[in-house]
Structure 1
Amino acid sequence: MAPPPRNVRLLLAVAIACILGCLVLFVGLRGRSGWDPAVSASARPSGSPGAPRSLRARQPGVNGAAGDHRGPLRLPSGEIAADAARKAGAFSGRVVSERGGEPIGGATLTFDHEDETLTVSAGADGAFLLEPPEPGVYVLALVTAQGFHPFAPAWGESPVTLVARAGEVVRGLTVTLSPEARYEGVVLTPGGEPAAGAEVRILDAPEGAVGARFMADDKGAFTFTAPDEALLEASHPAYAPGRGRVDLRVQAGRRITLRLGAKGEERAGQTIAGTVVDASGAPVVGAAVRAGWSGDPGVLGADLHPGDEVTTDADGAFLLEGLDAGRYALTAREGTRAAYLDEVAGGAREVTLRLGGTGRLRGVVRSAGGERGELVKAFSVLVALHRGPLERETAAAASFFDASGAYAFEDLLPGTYAVTAAAMGHASSKTVTVTVQAGGEATADLVLGRGGNLHGLVVEEGTGTPLAGARVTVEGGLGPGAGPVPVVAEATTDPAGRFSLAGLSEGLRSVAAMASGHHGRILSGLVIAEGGTLGPVTISLTPLQEGEEPRIEMTGIGAVLSAKDDALVVGQVMAGGGAAAAGLGPGDAIVAIDGVRVVDLGFEGAIGRIRGPEGSTVALLVRRGNAGAPVNVLVQRTRVRG
């Protein structure tokens, strides 16, 4: 499992602020932040002993299993071995810190099994052992430790599902927790003066920290702890609220600045009201309803509130409040029934969500080689719903430990899905497209590749001094159109500044490196070959000057892009980048790259085609404002600091 921290909001860049598209900053494949109950599905191994109950998508205020996937797909570590003495199997492993891998003694692990909850504590060395009372399916539901952010599928982690069988043990399971980071903040008025007495609250966060409040002192300063990617909002009676996100720059510098707006510039909180009904039109009580952002990618921003979630009342009615102006995708779920309605404008009334049946997906994961390959016993699976020619929305993502290599997802909305698997030491599988029908079952068997290797060195720019302890991340999607949740491979440099990564998917990849006291750097255009080794590559990081805040240096066109319909739509343009110089602006839609249609390239293929060396150019066919006849625009790739 060994997850890296959730670096940079996936909606703004599938982690590390644009690693997957490092030549472009982009907003993901319509993957909406937060829980999407109509899309999220339960997950369990297929054909598991004991016919365990299904794990349902999380309802508001209830700890569930699948759904609310906000972070990267966490590849499980560990193995399954034979042990005849174990009549109901066993699960063992360690809980360690994400920073340095030190053991976390006293961590508490909670496993769910049918209607039962089992809890074990890690010893001083971080080791834990769960001896299940009976064979069956167990879900790692929560891991907590003082001074660390929790591991919690209900709050955005990839669920981990384990199968207990007689004579089998899962061992070497590594649970990695991120230390709680203490940040300094300052609230400023529109004129840049300290806003004494301002109140700051966490408006949105992955790990259940929503609602925490902090007060600014007479200098506008405050201190706080928050998960990565938390959205903060500062308020003051004399000004309009201001927002800021704990993004990569804040994480690196441990400091955030929140700037208030002028009085009268407040965001107009909007509401959406309606009713959830069943197939016969009768109101449904207790259905979970969620509003997720569905607006034009050209107006998306890092400070957008992700929406609201409520439960229907005795009349099946719901009221979603505090929404930013724009359009939303509404989802509802009650039991195994679900509903989905897109492009609902804020302020809409009398919206009707009609619940319908859901379907099931199952399959087996194998490794490449031989006639059928070997069964993979520890793996992750991503299921993404097709929303358009390029758009994919994560429906489910979970990790499995099962000697039979089997997996299953239940309660999927009817529709077409892209299914992909990944595992430690393997390249991700090719994406399989399946159709799920209400009340039906689809099958997607997946084969993992060997992948390639990458090694190199991280040094300080100008001096060439090796940087020990730098974090190096390679991140990529799970194949063309697989969805917005990425697979992450991460390493930490040794005392000589060296790093190595294995099991990388073939094709163009990007590497991000970060080290204390330096600006981050993204190196792009690395070609990974199946079964090959690339390197050594050298990544040079610029040291911070006095008073500077850490930023990310990259080579690209300098634009935030997202998939919409048949194009990549520009959301934001970075000053000094090639896109700005070429006159590209928010709302412009790229429909072809170097003469090849974006829909033919697919999302990842399009991003790869836009990549290239600094100083080179790329020919884009652009619909200005996403309307009218497209025009040719030549854009130079430049080095920018975002």
Structure 2
Amino acid sequence: MSRRMSQSLLAGVVLLMLAVLWGWNSAPGCVGTSHGEQEIQPGAHVAEVRAGVASWLPVPTPETVSHTSRPKMMLTGRIISEESGDGIPGAEISIQRLGRIESIRSGVDGRFSYEPPISGEYSIVRVVSEGFQPFAPSARMPGLVVSVDEEEVVDGLVLALKSLGYCEGVVHGVDGRPVSNAKIRFLTTGRWDPSSGVPESVESNLDGQFKIPFVPDALLQAELNGTFSGIHCLCIASECPFVMDLDADAAQAELKYVEGHVLDSAGHPVAGVQVSATDAEFRRTKIMGDVAPVDDGGVDMGILLSALEMEPRQETVTDDDGSFLIGPLEEDEYDVFVSKDPESMKTVKAGARDVRLRLPPAGQISGRVVSELTGEAVSGFSYLIEKYWREGEFARGRIRDSLRHRGIVHDARGRFEISNLPAGVYRLRILADGFQRSVRSTVKVAAGERTQLTISLTAGHLLQGIVTDLETGQPLAGARISEHEPRHQGLWADAVDEVSSLGTPGVVETAADGSFRLTVTEDALWASSSGYRSWVVREPASWSGPLRIALSPLRKDAAPGVEFGGVGIVWASEQTSVGGVQRLTISGVLDGSPAERGGLAAGDAMLAVDGAAAEWEEASSVGARIRGEVGTPVRLRLWRSSSRQEYEVVLTRARLMESD
């Protein structure tokens, strides 16, 4: 073959290859790549963001390019403000499947959509938006678990975020004067995970002032040109605003970690278990004038309950191999324990390694949630499970946090499973939108066994009403009607409260004529509007007719609060036996209330309300029957122990303020 023929043949081959390549890249179902880009295979998913909405779009394949196809599976929902009910645009939503996390963002109205690549169980593990507390910010909350089957569209998911609380402060220099440009750094993120959107630092202004997100139990330190302050904790005892003083003798915080493993009773590593650490100093007491451990041979639970109620806590979750890394921690001794089993506690120094915590043999609860009326599965619900502590009682304070577990489930068949539960007796509450709350008071869990349940939910009660201004009588448009109480608890309590993580909230706003319609499922209903005191209705499902609510305008310097229609009775914690039947006992009456004017006194026992006996009832139940619309009568029959006589009185309900 001649040299010229060889060159011609080679050129033809090159042209043929180029033609083939050009045809492949332009053919239906194929995606070409440019220099530096990763090739995307047909059938894969890519993220496309338009106007803040992230959706997962399938790359065309030869089978789909010729016609428009609908996604086989889809998750859709909305991120809203718990206070206003408005959609939150641009919220970052993290979705996890088999350890892999993908992130999308909500659109301008708070709506989001996600197309799962395969069927199975997905978890919305975190939602973050500026100005709001994150959803599932810590290891305590497992997130929203959604089961998606083939060709299933899961819609109507709603997650409510609370507004973020802020704490103000000022930085003083070594001369005691305010200083600008000082950096206030988060040394730790306390009860929230570091990935919850907490800023690394903020800076003081010209007046030395700063404003910082209130992250519960976080540790802060201020610094300016190598001069540091002491360490400040945003804990339950914190006051806002606060002062951070730079000190020439203060050093940069040197924080350490505690490393270890959680093992089951057979010595195998346990993944996904929450581990907590608290300062051991809070579990000490003075004995004979000296500070000593409460009990070197074990844990004094009485002292521990009080300590954990106030003590700042660091938390983490074990990895797949059962390992954990908790901190950063100050130089000190810490009580480290599996959160759901405080008796697994070990006291170690910050920086300790290879700490071994052992779980007792555990069981699990699984089952289905169905409609009592139709027998059909309830696909979306939240649960709260709480372990009885001792002798049928629940623990209090922070130890109660450890023995309470919450979760949100969306499963087309209504299935749920709660694993790694220490053996014992539990109370399980199920809450679903449009249904009354279900409570199983005695659910027994045995080690190594599965407790199977079927829970039937009763439909909720449709309530209608109107909200007006108390002074003008004019309807209030845009007033918020909610099954969640307006919060006046303080920064720390609001920051650790996880009500917003419990599922779809019952929230509506009044129309232009002040009217509203809401299916009530909870024990109370609140009406609120900016510039007014809130109003509460207890046991709203007991109302048969339209509900008329008049809100009191807030005067200048008047304290906000919650009002109700009632007679002003304060109940005692102990009941009185009258004729062998336990009756609620009055411990006092509010000054100037209908109860005081009617002559009710401390020690009187309640026998009946409007002719219906009040026997063996809780205060909340009897109180709900006594409360009602302002200006309406209620007839009470009581027993006075001092004269050993019954008496009856008719009182007119008045507008009263709820006490803390």
TM interval, shorter chain, is 0.5 to 0.7
Residues 462-520 of structure 1: per-residue CA shift (max 9 Å, x gap):
333433333333259xxxxxx99778533333333333321425xxx4333332233x3
User: 1:460·1:543 contact (CA, 8 Å) conserved in 2?
Assistant: no
User: 1:368·1:449 contact (CA, 8 Å) conserved in 2?
Assistant: yes
Q: What is residue 134 of structure 1 aligned with on the other side?
A: 118
Residues 82-116 of structure 1: per-residue CA shift (max 9 Å, x gap):
xxx87862222344555655555544432211133
User: 1:94·1:174 contact (CA, 8 Å) conserved in 2?
Assistant: yes
C-alpha separation in 2, matches of 1:601 and 1:298: 33
Paired residue for 1:161, among 140, 145, 162?
145
Deviates more, 1:282-291 or 1:170-179: 282-291
Aligned residue identity for 1:185: E
Structure 1 stretches lacking a partner, 5+ long: 1-84, 251-255, 262-270, 477-482, 563-572, 583-591, 622-636
Q: What is residue 420 of structure 2 aligned with on the other side?
A: 411
Aligned residue identity for 1:165: D
Q: What is residue 313 of structure 2 aligned with on the other side?
A: 307
Q: Are 1:174 and 2:165 counterparts?
A: no
C-alpha separation in 1, matches of 2:230 and 2:129: 39
C-alpha separation in 2, matches of 1:466 and 1:425: 27
User: 1:274·1:318 contact (CA, 8 Å) conserved in 2?
Assistant: yes
Identity in percent: 23
Q: Are 1:386 and 2:388 counterparts?
A: yes
Q: What is residue 44 of structure 1 aligned with on the other side?
A: none
Q: What is residue 223 of structure 1 aligned with on the other side?
A: 211
Shift in Å, 1:358 = 2.0
The secondary structure found in structure 1 opposite 2:483 is strand
User: 2:191·2:314 contact (CA, 8 Å) conserved in 1?
Assistant: no
Q: What is residue 425 of structure 1 aligned with on the other side?
A: 434
C-alpha separation in 2, matches of 1:560 and 1:275: 48
Aligned residue identity for 2:120: G
The 3 A distance-change label for structure 1 pair 317 and 471 is: closer
C-alpha separation in 2, matches of 1:607 and 1:403: 35
The secondary structure found in structure 2 opposite 1:528 is helix
Q: What is residue 523 of structure 1 aligned with on the other side?
A: 536
Q: Are 1:497 and 2:514 counterparts?
A: yes
Paired residue for 1:369, among 369, 373, 393?
373
Q: Which has the higher helix share?
A: 2
C-alpha separation in 2, matches of 1:401 and 1:472: 25
Shift in Å, 1:366 = 0.7
The 3 A distance-change label for structure 1 pair 369 and 278 is: closer
Paired residue for 1:185, among 168, 172, 176?
168
User: 2:221·2:229 contact (CA, 8 Å) conserved in 1?
Assistant: no
C-alpha separation in 1, matches of 2:335 and 2:639: 34
User: 1:204·1:230 contact (CA, 8 Å) conserved in 2?
Assistant: yes
Residues 124-181 of structure 1: per-residue CA shift (max 9 Å, x gap):
5554332222211111123344555443364665622222212321123334445657
C-alpha separation in 2, matches of 1:330 and 1:575: 46
Q: CA RMSD in A?
A: 6.1
The 3 A distance-change label for structure 1 pair 402 and 164 is: same
The 3 A distance-change label for structure 1 pair 375 and 121 is: same
Residues 197-242 of structure 1: per-residue CA shift (max 9 Å, x gap):
8979797565746686556668675334447x78898999999979
Paired residue for 1:438, among 447, 469, 476?
447
Paired residue for 1:536, among 531, 547, 551?
547
Instruction: Count residues in correspondence.
Output: 472
Q: What is residue 34 of structure 2 aligned with on the other side?
A: none
Residues 507-541 of structure 1: per-residue CA shift (max 9 Å, x gap):
xx4333332233x3343444524xx7453131423
Q: What is residue 510 of structure 1 aligned with on the other side?
A: 524
After superposition, residues 468-617 of structure 1 pair within 5 angstroms as 468-475=477-484, 488-505=505-522, 509-518=523-532, 520-529=533-542, 533-546=544-557, 548=558, 550-553=560-563, 605-609=618-622, 613=627
The 3 A distance-change label for structure 1 pair 233 and 575 is: farther
User: 2:142·2:406 contact (CA, 8 Å) conserved in 1?
Assistant: yes
The 3 A distance-change label for structure 1 pair 359 and 200 is: same
Shift in Å, 1:299 = 7.2
User: 1:234·1:242 contact (CA, 8 Å) conserved in 2?
Assistant: no
C-alpha separation in 2, matches of 1:123 and 1:543: 35
The 3 A distance-change label for structure 1 pair 238 and 277 is: closer
The 3 A distance-change label for structure 1 pair 522 and 124 is: closer
C-alpha separation in 2, matches of 1:550 and 1:407: 41
C-alpha separation in 2, matches of 1:97 and 1:121: 15
Larger RCO: Structure 1 or Structure 2 (Cα < 8 Å, ≥ 6 residues apart)?
1
Shift in Å, 1:367 = 0.7
Aligned residue identity for 2:98: E
The 3 A distance-change label for structure 1 pair 125 and 492 is: closer
Shift in Å, 1:543 = 1.0
Q: What is residue 68 of structure 1 aligned with on the other side?
A: none
Shift in Å, 1:449 = 0.7
Aligned residue identity for 1:512: W
The secondary structure found in structure 2 opposite 1:444 is strand
Paired residue for 1:331, among 313, 337, 343?
337
The secondary structure found in structure 2 opposite 1:111 is strand
The 3 A distance-change label for structure 1 pair 230 and 610 is: farther
Shift in Å, 1:382 = 2.4
The 3 A distance-change label for structure 1 pair 116 and 219 is: closer
The 3 A distance-change label for structure 1 pair 297 and 428 is: farther
C-alpha separation in 1, matches of 2:571 and 2:205: 37
C-alpha separation in 1, matches of 2:388 and 2:623: 23
Q: What is residue 362 of structure 2 aligned with on the other side?
A: 358
C-alpha separation in 2, matches of 1:308 and 1:356: 22
User: 1:203·1:233 contact (CA, 8 Å) conserved in 2?
Assistant: no
Q: What is residue 11 of structure 1 aligned with on the other side?
A: none
- Radius of gyration: which is bigger? 2
The secondary structure found in structure 2 opposite 1:383 is strand
The secondary structure found in structure 1 opposite 2:118 is coil
C-alpha separation in 1, matches of 2:569 and 2:344: 31
Q: What is residue 90 of structure 1 aligned with on the other side?
A: 74
C-alpha separation in 2, matches of 1:306 and 1:577: 39
C-alpha separation in 1, matches of 2:498 and 2:105: 34
Q: What is residue 111 of structure 1 aligned with on the other side?
A: 95
Shift in Å, 1:442 = 0.7
Shift in Å, 1:369 = 1.8
C-alpha separation in 2, matches of 1:279 and 1:156: 20
Deviates more, 1:520-529 or 1:231-240: 231-240
Aligned residue identity for 2:211: T
Q: What is residue 290 of structure 1 aligned with on the other side?
A: 276
The 3 A distance-change label for structure 1 pair 419 and 243 is: closer
Q: What is residue 12 of structure 1 aligned with on the other side?
A: none
C-alpha separation in 1, matches of 2:344 and 2:360: 16
The 3 A distance-change label for structure 1 pair 210 and 550 is: farther
The 3 A distance-change label for structure 1 pair 410 and 517 is: same
TM-score norm. by structure 2 comes to: 0.54
